[in-house]
Amino acid sequence: LDKYKGIIPAFYACYDESGEISPERIKLLANHLYEKGVQGLYVGGSSGECIYQNLEERKATLKYVSESLKGKLTLIAHVGAPSTKESVELAKYAEELGYDALSAIPPIYFKLPESSIEKYWTEIMDSTELPFIIYNIPQTTGYNLSINLLTKLLKNDKLIGVKNSSMPVMDIERFKAAAPEEFIVFNGPDEQYVSGRLIGADSGIGGTYGVMPELFLKAEEFVVAGNFSEARKIQRDINDIIIALCSLNGSMYSTIKEIYKLRGINIGSVRGPLEPVSGEDLGKIEIIKNMIDV
Ligand code: NAY
């Protein structure tokens, strides 16, 4: 399971100038991140704007990333979708493309009983031969993975990990405690990468890794070396940057994409209802970029 250990950026949605999925830009971003030395990519999750894309668009993104990087990086396909039918279709497609693992949020919109959530994840797991990673992100889905459900799902050999984006780092510790040693817990909140790793997260998947992979790679290096004071310093820099990324009008992802443009890598903008950065705030992009690219 070493292939899941390290820095795994959540891949950003890549659009052309008219807002459609851009194969060229997907490949550009995929290769760029590969060259940065990350361990893998988490494709089609929150940062992939999956919630604003239809099935064909999500399939296209999965396809172009795997065409660029299959066999070079660990590729995790996020297949959570409004219906089980669509999730299973995406899961099967990701398996055909040669993805290493699947992942999914719990069902969204209707507040369903835990038994339905169990059934949803189980049907996805049973639909392919691929390993599965639960995506726990209660602040957007309204459901926080319980130890009770985790324990039940652990009976399924396909379940190899949880990507935990809830804010209490203690949740990471509790998931580790409830599962066998080799079970992987991924740190979700980038603001707590170092603390997540110290309390037991084996690695991390995050939405801001893609705009500053060097910093997360360095933080990881210091954690592995047991140099916690240096790791803390990097976490502080990271957090200053995340606060800045979230400070402009538009969304964090719009800011990230504008920074990419300034670096000469155009992956387009965001899809509505997310809004692009506009007006005076555009002038602040360079300052934030310079916080990262020092
Ligand atoms: C994904 O699926 O895109 C992610 O892994 C992103 C997870 C992010 N959480 C949320 C709520 O968006 O990485 C975090 C987040 O971008 C980061 O902590 C900055 O707030």
The predicted pLDDT at position 294 comes to 87
Which value does ipTM take for this structure?
0.93
CA of 80 to the centre of ligand 1 (A): 15
User: Mind listing the pLDDT tens digit of every residue in the chain (294 residues)?
Assistant: 899 999 999 999 999 999 999 999 999 999 999 999 999 999 999 999 999 999 999 999 999 999 999 999 999 999 999 999 999 999 999 999 999 999 999 999 999 999 999 999 999 999 999 999 999 999 999 999 999 999 999 999 999 999 999 999 999 999 999 999 999 999 999 999 999 999 999 999 999 999 999 999 999 999 999 999 999 999 999 999 999 999 999 999 999 999 999 999 999 999 999 999 999 999 999 999 999 998
Q: What order of strands is seen across the sheet that includes strand 7-9?
A: 7-9, 203-206, 184-187, 159-164, 132-136, 101-104, 74-78, 40-43
Report CA(173)–ligand 1 centroid distance (Å): 19
Q: How far apart are CA 186 and CA 196, in angstroms?
A: 8
Is 163 assigned a catalytic role?
yes
Ligand 1 pocket residue status of 190, Cβ below 6 Å? yes
Q: What is the pLDDT of residue 55?
A: 98
Residue 273, preceding peptide bond in cis (omega within 30° of 0): yes
Distance CA 266, CA 24 (A): 10
4: annotated active-site residue: no
Q: Is the pTM of this model over 0.90?
A: yes
Neighbours of 201 (CB within 10 A): 27
245 Cβ inside 6 Å of ligand 1: no
Pocket of ligand 1 contains residue 84 by CB under 6 Å: no
| CA 230–ligand 1 middle distance (angstroms) | 24
Structure tokens at 218: 């360095």
Residue 82: its pLDDT value, please?
Answer: 96
- Residue 235 near ligand 1, beta carbon < 6 Å: no
